[in-house]
């Protein structure tokens, strides 16, 4: 029996058609995967279902009757609930308040708390309703959203990239919960680009590419490779790793300890590691476990005691970012817009942003605009950045292109050590592949690279050594070759405080 | 239904056109306001915007343009650094007063000695006075995270009380027969900020204002400090990543604006005003905020905006004496100008699209 | 100097009166800031409220109608700020400053015919029984009604923010406007309502100055009271009850320095007059703790 039917839905934004003639059918009690690269139109489609976006044309039917929610409240009232990837929780409010905000006719606060406890037990998702959301881990935050949805007794639950913030064990628990929901007759629209997960969980998969449906398949019977090619449209380039001997230790971190820089930050606790010439060190972990803080302590944005960070034996923990750049340590933070790059400035100015020191773009404090322009254009050419010109504002570039620019800017300064946080977050597959290749090339040329990422597949692909960051602590470094997903899961600290769900389905 | 859509790149055309559009809208609505006050709108607008430049008495008003414009430009240039960097010094009026008090203090201390050194020392003292006053919100912000908007503004009221205390007490003219106010510095040759060319209105403050414009232009477009200022305002985290020390930036920006406001006060007290008096300050420090925004925080823009604002001051006085227009109407006109500028500014970064509501 | 001329009971009683205009303006601004909007135009709205209230009260002879006019005037002016910042996406700091400059000009123009006129009387009420309690009675229970309106508003705002659905939504919008939008709440509508409430409260505060505290109209009569109200919101850490403390603290300094002036303390008047502003700075330095609403001052534009 069909729950939601979408017939030739089209939605255009100026310059792009986000959805073209998309048709889709979700049946009662099925887990339906929506698969596609970044920018394929998945978000627009689910926003239309959730009433956040108004389609230009096309029809939707829910339980056989016409369905066109003008806003999310109408969608919720009709039985559609959504777990967002980000942007939907209020840090300063409590769990119960957050949940109450997502309910249409909420009972008094005390009753909300009681229902939270009930549902969290029923589905094996422990959560204290009185805690402030800003203090929760990423996994716990997601539980808030899931419970918020479950309290509405949804007929259709939309989940947008739900596993990107979870450890492997937490993923297992989430899947148990979702399977239990399916057995109770709830349909789930599951958005992801992780093929193995979809094969393990989903009944049907609809693949989107460039806004159009390019295929529907049964993921249990289709190979991951076939689905990937359907999604990307061509065979993917897999980065090539060359074997090379590792050289001397370049960057050494000893007993790095630092307080949380802001209220909801993570303190760093006694982190120690070395990286060698030619090595790629992959640091895995769920976001919010000290990644930003570690990058800040390495880049120089956060100063620590001098001896905690040494570069070629020289203590640099108290130096500012430019002094570290001069010595050969460059970094690329996670957030492109507003941290690694200034969105309202031109690419030339953004090239100057970190390149001034090593590329000698200033003379006695005066800017040499022609040299900065040359540098920006060199990055654009070498890293295939799609931009109208070097004078374009950074905000006018797509996520993948801006990321290529940011990574390219650091790599072209020929650093001895490069620290990158989330190199391919929100980047399309081809750009991600070329960024990974560039990282490997830099290591081959004799630099040490530290890559921090939540994407374990990515880390396994490019790292020589692997370590996990959990609650501000770093695990032992281990050779990446031969690590199993279970090993990694244990390094990541398992399922944190989560008990294994007892699902009585 | 009108929708706003963010432009990928800010529009260069609108960057220049929006201030002009704001001026036109202000004239239009100002005209309506004047009509509502029972004045002939065309005659009033002409008195304010054209008479100071083109009437038969323009020879008298034109020098006034420099005299009124110089402090506005000087202060606004200083403010523009902080405003670009997201450091909101809105207490320039207080720094202006302190510059005047320090400058006048040095001048009065030397009285009646005649020496070429007196005036340069007064200039330095004026800059120091403004800077010190601006350092109070700066240091408090850097050390304690105190809001610089509120502190710098509170200090305006404190400075006004200090001014009153000086005019009535320490700096009162001993030969002034008990009237409040200091000796007239304009009549003390070594301390006077006289016109460089007689009858032109060109005094040393005007020279300083032009130098400040050039200095600011070069700094903002060619120097790493100007780049850091702009970067800090647009993306504070990116600035920290680029190696900008935020505490130092706050102090330098406040220091520059304090020094320039102090200089403006010093040139004013030694020249056009002549003496420290209770009503010495007339709100240049606040009007300069309008000038800074109207000039789009760009040095050349500020120069033009300062001229325009000086025009409304002089034209306002003409309209006041000839047409009986209330002085407050000019103040309102200036506020209106800033409002319209902020309103039309949306066109620089956003495109307006008309969208027909679909029926559901 | 004669310190015995200062009557402690009268001092404490006038403290409540001196605190009221600041409290009224600050409680409105607190709501605005909890909704994520920084309106620096409090001074402009206060002074506009002062003249609107004065003009209406003189015109009708009724102080109550005057206060209503003041609230309306303040709210209308604040909507100007609302349209600019919420619909035309202008910078809130600059727009707030513009509102203050505009309000000062507007009030001066409106007030031209009202200089030197006396406001109609707004008598104190003597609350039965409570007002007869010795010491406490005259200090707390023998004031004009607006003093109690201020207290009720403070309690009401606390109750609204923490005990009602609307308050929860308002806090959510101020904490994270993107998330509130994603849940389907009308961010701009909530903010416009908050801004109008803030304007009305500032207007009331201004009218309290021109109708009760002074009571007549003079240009620029707010003399920084709006800015002090803004400072007290920061001091209070965006919490209504601490706002009360801040306003009374400030009222205390004001009243004390006025009494000291009257008692002829050997300090020049100017230095006493600057004490409330210095006290505000000191308070800001000591109490800059407290977490501001997450979206405070940020521009909200619902893109894709």
Q: Is residue C248 part of a domain?
A: yes
Cα(A342)–Cα(A354) distance, rounded to whole angstroms? 11
> Is the model's pLDDT at C77 over the cut of 80?
yes
| Contacts C277 to B, Cβ<8 Å | 154-155, 157-158
Segments in B223-283 forming alpha helices (H):
224-234, 236-241, 246-270
Interchain contact, A365 vs B8, CB within 8 Å: no
- Residue owning tokens 């081959």: A444
Q: Is residue B125 part of a domain?
A: yes
Cα(A132)–Cα(A92) distance, rounded to whole angstroms? 6
Interchain contact, A345 vs B240, CB within 8 Å: no
Q: Which domain holds residue C86?
A: 3-112+140-286
The percent of residues in chain B predicted with pLDDT above 90, rounded, is: 51
> Is the model's pLDDT at A9 over the cut of 80?
yes
Cα(C55)–Cα(A458) distance, rounded to whole angstroms? 71
> Is the model's pLDDT at A344 over the cut of 70?
yes
Q: Which range (A3-7, A22-26, A173-177) has the least confidence?
A: A173-177
Cis peptide before B74, with omega less than 30 degrees from 0? no
The domain A249-491 is placed in CATH, from the list 1.10.287.1080, 3.40.50.300, 1.10.10.10, 1.10.260.40, at 3.40.50.300
Interface mutation target, options A12, A74, A90, A97, chain C, most CBs of C under 10 Å: A90
**pTM beyond 0.90, yes or no:** no
Q: What is the DSSP string of A115-155?
A: HHHHHHHHTT----TTSBGGGS-HHHHHHHHHHHHHTT--S
> Is the model's pLDDT at C38 over the cut of 80?
yes
Asked if A282 has any chain C CB less than 8 Å from its own CB, the reply is: no
pLDDT at residue number B354: 67
pLDDT digits (tens, 9 = 90+) for A265-317: 889 999 999 999 999 999 988 777 889 999 999 999 999 999 999 999 999 99
Burial of A131 (0-12, 13-18, 19+ CB in 10 A): middle
Q: Is residue C120 part of a domain?
A: no
CATH code for the domain in which residue B165 is found: 1.10.3470
Work out the minimum CA distance from A365 to partner chain B, whole angstroms: 5
- How many structural domains compose chain B? 1
Cα(C153)–Cα(C56) distance, rounded to whole angstroms? 23
Asked if A299 has any chain C CB less than 8 Å from its own CB, the reply is: no
Cα(B13)–Cα(B7) distance, rounded to whole angstroms? 13
Assign domain A2-232 to its CATH architecture.
3-Layer(aba) Sandwich (3.40)
Asked if C118 has any chain A CB less than 8 Å from its own CB, the reply is: no
Q: How confident is the model at residue A504 (pLDDT cuts 50, 70, 90)?
A: very low
> Is the model's pLDDT at B28 over the cut of 50?
yes
The ipTM is 0.86
Cα(A481)–Cα(A128) distance, rounded to whole angstroms? 40
Q: What is the mean pLDDT of chain A?
A: 87
Interchain contact, C165 vs A106, CB within 8 Å: yes
> Is the model's pLDDT at B3 over the cut of 80?
no
Q: Is residue B356 part of a domain?
A: no
pLDDT at residue number C197: 97
Burial of A11 (0-12, 13-18, 19+ CB in 10 A): buried
Q: Which domain holds residue B177?
A: 38-325
- How many structural domains compose chain C? 1
CATH code for the domain in which residue C156 is found: 1.10.3470
Interchain contact, B235 vs A339, CB within 8 Å: yes
Cα(A472)–Cα(A454) distance, rounded to whole angstroms? 15
Work out the minimum CA distance from B326 to partner chain C, whole angstroms: 7
From the centroid of its chain, how far is CA A296? 19
Q: How confident is the model at residue B210 (pLDDT cuts 50, 70, 90)?
A: very high
Q: Is residue C132 part of a domain?
A: no
Interface of B with A in 9-38 (CB under 8 A): 9-10
Both tokens of B313, joined, read 């001051």
List strand residue ranges (DSSP E) for A288-439, in order.
Answer: 309-311, 314-315, 329-332, 362-363, 366-367, 417-421
Interchain contact, B161 vs C271, CB within 8 Å: yes
Cα(A155)–Cα(A172) distance, rounded to whole angstroms? 23
Q: Is residue C75 part of a domain?
A: yes
Give the residue range(s) of CATH 3.40.50.300 domains in chain A.
2-232, 249-491
Q: Is residue C72 part of a domain?
A: yes
Work out the minimum CA distance from B15 to partner chain A, whole angstroms: 14
Are A11 and A48 within 8 A, CB to CB? yes
Q: Is residue C67 part of a domain?
A: yes
Q: How wide is the angle at C-alpha C65 spanned by C-alphas C61 and C67, nearest 5°?
A: 115
Average pLDDT rounded to a whole number, residues B16-31: 90
Average pLDDT rounded to a whole number, residues B66-92: 94
Average pLDDT rounded to a whole number, residues B222-244: 93
**Phi, psi angle pair for B25, to nearest 5°:** -60, -40
Q: What is the mean pLDDT of chain B?
A: 89
């Amino acid at each position: 029996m069909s729950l939601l039917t979408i017939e030739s839905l089209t939605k255009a934004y100026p310059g792009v058609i986000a959805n073209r003639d998309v048709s889709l059918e979700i049946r009662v009690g099925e887990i339906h995967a929506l698969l596609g690269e970044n920018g394929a139109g998945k978000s627009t489609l689910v926003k239309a279902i959730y009433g956040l976006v108004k389609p230009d044309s096309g029809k939707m039917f829910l339980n056989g009757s016409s369905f066109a929610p003008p806003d999310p409240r109408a969608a919720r009232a009709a039985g559609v609930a959504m777990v967002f990837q980000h942007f939907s929780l209020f840090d300063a409010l409590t769990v119960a308040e957050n949940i109450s905000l997502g309910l249409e006719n909420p009972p008094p606060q005390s009753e909300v708390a009681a229902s939270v406890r009930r549902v969290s037990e029923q589905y094996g998702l422990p959560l204290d309703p009185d805690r402030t959301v800003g203090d929760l881990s990423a996994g716990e935050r997601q539980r808030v959203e899931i419970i918020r949805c479950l309290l509405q007794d949804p007929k259709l639950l939309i989940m947008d990239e739900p596993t990107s913030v979870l450890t492997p064990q937490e993923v297992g628990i989430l899947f148990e919960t979702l399977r239990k929901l399916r057995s109770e007759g709830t349909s789930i629209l599951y958005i992801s680009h992780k093929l193995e997960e979809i094969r393990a969980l989903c009944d049907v998969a609809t693949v989107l590419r460039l806004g159009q449906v390019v295929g529907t398949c049964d993921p249990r019977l289709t190979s991951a490779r076939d689905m990937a090619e359907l999604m990307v449209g061509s065979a993917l380039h897999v980065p090539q790793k060359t074997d090379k001997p590792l050289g001397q230790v370049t960057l050494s971190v000893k007993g790095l300890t630092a307080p949380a820089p802001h209220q909801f930050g993570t303190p760093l606790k006694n982190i120690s590691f070395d990286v060698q010439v030619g090595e790629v060190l992959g640091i895995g972990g769920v976001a919010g476990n000290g990644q930003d803080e570690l990058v800040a302590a390495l880049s120089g944005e956060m100063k620590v005691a001098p001896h905690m960070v040494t570069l070629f034996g020289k203590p640099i923990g108290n130096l500012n970012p430019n002094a570290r750049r001069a010595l050969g340590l460059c970094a690329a933070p996670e957030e492109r817009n507003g941290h690694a790059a200034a969105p309202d400035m031109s690419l030339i100015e953004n090239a100057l942003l970190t390149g001034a020191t090593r590329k000698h773009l200033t003379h006695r404090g005066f800017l040499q605009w022609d040299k900065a322009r040359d540098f920006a254009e060199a990055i654009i050419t070498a890293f295939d950045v799609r931009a109208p010109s070097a004078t374009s504002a950074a905000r006018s570039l797509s996520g993948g292109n801006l990321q290529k620019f940011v990574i390219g800017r650091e790599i072209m300064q020929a650093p001895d050590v490069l620290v990158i946080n989330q190199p391919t977050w929100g980047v399309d597959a081809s750009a991600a592949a070329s960024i990974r290749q560039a990282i490997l090339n830099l290591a081959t040329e004799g630099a040490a690279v530290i890559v921090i990422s939540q994407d374990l597949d990515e880390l396994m692909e490019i790292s020589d050594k692997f370590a996990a960051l959990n609650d501000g602590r770093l695990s032992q470094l281990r050779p990446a070759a031969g690590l199993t997903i279970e090993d990694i899961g244990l390094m990541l600290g398992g399922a944190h405080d989560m008990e294994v769900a007892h699902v009585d389905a | 239904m009108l929708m706003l859509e963010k432009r990928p790149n800010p529009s260069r055309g609108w960057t220049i056109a929006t201030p002009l559009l704001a001026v036109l809208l202000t004239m239009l609505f100002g005209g309506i306001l004047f009509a509502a006050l029972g004045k002939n709108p065309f005659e009033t607008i002409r008195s304010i915007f054209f008479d100071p430049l083109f009437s038969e008495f323009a020879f008298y008003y034109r020098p006034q343009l420099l005299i009124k414009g110089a402090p506005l430009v000087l202060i606004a240039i200083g403010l523009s650094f902080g405003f670009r960097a997201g450091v909101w010094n809105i207490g320039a009026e207080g720094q202006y007063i302190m510059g005047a008090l320090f400058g006048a203090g040095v001048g009065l201390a030397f009285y009646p000695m005649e020496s070429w050194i007196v005036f340069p020392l007064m200039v330095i003292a004026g800059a120091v006075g403004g800077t010190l006053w601006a350092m109070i919100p700066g240091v408090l912000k850097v050390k304690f995270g105190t809001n610089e908007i509120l502190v710098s503004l509170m200090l305006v009221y404190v400075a006004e009380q200090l001014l009153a205390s000086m005019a009535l007490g320490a700096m009162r003219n001993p030969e002034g027969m008990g009237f409040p106010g200091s000796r007239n510095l304009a009549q003390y040759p070594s301390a006077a900020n006289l016109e460089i060319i007689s009858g032109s209105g060109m005094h040393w403050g005007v020279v300083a204002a032009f130098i400040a414009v050039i200095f600011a232009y070069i700094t903002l477009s060619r120097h790493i400090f100007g780049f850091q200022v702009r970067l800090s305002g647009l993306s504070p985290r990116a600035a920290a990543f680029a190696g900008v020390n935020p505490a130092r930036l706050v102090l330098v920006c406040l220091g520059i604006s304090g020094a320039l406001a102090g200089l403006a006060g010093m040139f004013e007290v030694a020249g056009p005003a002549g003496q420290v008096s209770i009503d010495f300050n007339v709100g240049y420090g606040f009007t300069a905020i309008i000038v800074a925004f109207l000039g789009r925080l760009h040095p050349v823009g500020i120069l033009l905006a300062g001229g325009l604002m000086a025009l409304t001051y002089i034209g306002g006085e003409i309209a006041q004496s000839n047409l009986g227009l209330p002085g407050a109407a000019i103040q309102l006109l200036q506020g209106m100008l800033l409002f319209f500028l902020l309103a039309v500014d949306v066109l620089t970064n956003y495109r307006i699209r008309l969208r027909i509501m679909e029926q559901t | 100097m004669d310190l015995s001329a200062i009557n402690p009971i009268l001092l404490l009683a006038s403290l409540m009166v001196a605190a009221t205009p600041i409290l009224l303006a600050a409680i409105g601004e607190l709501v605005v800031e909890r909704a994520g909007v920084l309106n620096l135009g409090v001074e402009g709205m206060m002074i506009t409220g002062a003249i609107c209230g004065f003009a209406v009260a003189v015109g009708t002879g009724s102080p109550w109608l005057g206060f209503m006019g003041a609230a309306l005037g303040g709210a209308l002016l604040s909507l100007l700020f609302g349209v600019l910042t919420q619909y035309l996406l202008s910078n809130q700091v600059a727009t707030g400053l513009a509102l203050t400059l505009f309000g000062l000009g507007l009030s001066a123009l409106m007030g031209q015919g009202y200089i030197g006129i006396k406001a109609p009387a707004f008598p104190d009420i003597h609350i039965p029984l409570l007002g007869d309690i010795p010491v406490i009675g005259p200090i707390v229970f023998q004031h004009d009604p607006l003093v109690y309106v201020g207290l009720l508003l403070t309690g009401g705002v606390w109750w609204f923010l923490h005990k009602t659905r609307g308050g929860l939504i308002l806090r959510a919008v101020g904490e994270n406007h993107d998330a509130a939008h994603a849940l389907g709440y009308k961010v701009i509508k909530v903010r416009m309502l908050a801004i109008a409430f803030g304007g009305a409260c500032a207007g009331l505060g201004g009218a309290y100055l021109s109708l009760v505290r002074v009571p007549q109209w003079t240009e620029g009569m707010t003399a920084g009271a709006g800015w002090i109200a803004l400072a007290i919101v920061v001091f209070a850490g965006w919490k209504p009850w601490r706002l009360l403390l801040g306003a009374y603290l400030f009222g205390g300094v004001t009243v004390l320095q006025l009494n000291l002036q009257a008692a002829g303390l050997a300090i020049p008047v100017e230095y006493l007059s600057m004490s409330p502003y210095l006290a505000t700075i000191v308070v800001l330095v000591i109490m800059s703790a407290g977490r501001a609403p997450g979206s405070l001052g940020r521009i909200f534009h619902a893109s894709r």
